[in-house]
Amino acid sequence: MTRAQRISALKAAARERVLVLDGSWGVMIQRRGLAEADFRGERFAAHNGQMKGNNDILCLTRPDVIAELHDQYFAAGADISETNTFSATTIAQEDYGLDEQAVWDINLEGAKLARAAADRWTAQEPHKPRFVAGSIGPLNKMLSMSSDVNDPGARGVTFDQVYEAYRQQARALHQGGVDLFLIETITDTLNCKAAIKAILDLEDEGLEPLPMWISGTIVDRSGRTLSGQTAEAFWNSVRHAKPFAVGFNCALGGELMRPFIAELSRVADTLVAAYPNAGLPNAMGQYDEQPHETAHFIEEWARSGLVNIVGGCCGTTPEHIRHVAEGVAGVTPRAIPERPRAMRLAGLEPFELVA
């Protein structure tokens, strides 16, 4: 299929059923017990500093591991698999001393690996096409919050720097063949705004526009993102981008995330997506929630008409995704609400003025 045909198939599938995203990449990579040499490969053998822990670099140094993980998630029932590029921006990769060319290559090869896996599974099961989401994760620097407790105005980066980092990433993912962009685990809505603009501006270069999925993170039971917004305020802040889907991921497990997904489901006039962690981490930072437990929460969301796309974040495995896919199979996806025409604004709280 051409990319236009894949996008059309993706939108058609979303009307027919609850779509399933893959699960955690970090936990599965950790289980492989890879050594420093695996992360370095030949290309980075003499690179200064530690490379272990930079999971994105495995797109270049251990592509076999990444390809196998895509296959595992597609085999488990995922409709969509993410590229292994969560931290593949020039800003985030400064921690590992990688240059712009290396970051470009990570995104390009990450997209190609996912594309190849999706195409293989689509060829095997034409009735269930598989899709690739270009993962665009958060940064280690925020535009909305100070980098210095003694200086509220201090920032570690400028908007232009964040915009350019995201634009480079999006361009490489696009070239590698992704079907949609997934701006995920958003803690800072202003960083997200830079990513949105970077993606929209690709059209100025003559690149085919792709669907955009925006996924924020609620940090605790207060129901706010790290930069302080409620679920509805967050939606009001990003609605102008007309995303294919909006939702939340990470941070909270399914049990605690439900009220915030319900709130987003009420106000968002687009698809709603949710992929929680496997519960909250234990004292050792591990996730104990079993696949059937995670699936139980997500299936209830689906049967309650709250979601259109589901999956798993930290701690979830192919077995979690298998249970999730089985739980939502045959469930009617959420109906997108028609909301009255109004002026809707957002700071930390939403503001609505109905005509």
- The CATH number of the structural domain formed by 3-354 is 3.20.20.330
Residue 178 pLDDT class (50, 70, 90 cuts): very high
**59 annotated ligand binder:** no
Task: Kindly give the interhelix angle for 231-238 and 189-200, rounded to the nearest 10 degrees.
Answer: 30
Rounded CA-CA distance 159/138 in Å is: 14
Of the ranges 36-45, 240-249, 277-286, 303-312, which one carries the lowest mean pLDDT score? 277-286
Nearest alpha-carbon partner for 268 in 337, 315, 325: 337
How high is the pLDDT of residue 153?
A: 86
DSSP state of 293: H
Of the ranges 97-101, 116-120, 136-140, 350-354, which one carries the lowest mean pLDDT score? 350-354
How high is the pLDDT of residue 220?
A: 85
Nearest alpha-carbon partner for 295 in 12, 76, 86, 80: 76
How high is the pLDDT of residue 221?
A: 84
- Span 310-315, average pLDDT: 97
Distances from the Cα of 314 to the Cαs of 23, 189, 260, in angstroms?
Answer: 7, 21, 18
pTM over 0.75: yes
**250 annotated ligand binder:** yes
The dihedral sign for the CA sequence 193, 208, 79, 18: positive
Please check the confidence at residue 355 and state whether its pLDDT lies above 80: no
- Span 260-268, average pLDDT: 97
pLDDT digits (tens, 9 = 90+) for 208-229: 999 999 999 998 888 999 888 9
How high is the pLDDT of residue 146?
A: 83
How high is the pLDDT of residue 80?
A: 98
Look over the chain and give the mean of its residue pLDDT values, rounded to a whole number.
96
Residue 158 pLDDT class (50, 70, 90 cuts): very high
**314 annotated ligand binder:** yes
